[in-house]
Structure 1
């Protein structure tokens, strides 16, 4: 059975995930605050999107110069926040 390793699982982080996330993930302070709050206070916090996944999504938005984003099924809004930051003030 496959397992999923996310960079915010500090107690059992995969060394490869740790290495890659340390080099590539740059969270906005609001993203870090939302992640920390969710992990501390929300049941089923494991459903939170991994910072490395949100970074890849944001990179895709930048790559295509995306200005319109539709985020369906948000949990605590981590992905919606990441996409909003990626499209900037002129995005929707």
Structure 2
């Protein structure tokens, strides 16, 4: 029997599913319980791992800095255009 019990954790980190191979029902209850605990813990550990293709924290922070700098430039541009418009209307 490969894996008598498998478990799956949902996106929310909570247990979503447990699958028990019918042949596992022949095990003693304590042995089956051990397999259930092992499967659930494996699913939880897998859920805790960041996706392999996700960027590292440094990359995310650098991108946030770039977005903040661009937002500052855009805000300055909009502000200057608004000031120009207000000057024209008040003259």
TM-score with structure 2 setting the length: 0.24
TM-score with structure 1 setting the length: 0.24
Determine which structure has more spread, i.e. the larger CA radius of gyration.
2
Structure with more of its chain in strand, by fraction: 2
| RCO higher in structure (CA 8 A, sep ≥6) | 1
Structure with more of its chain in helix, by fraction: 2
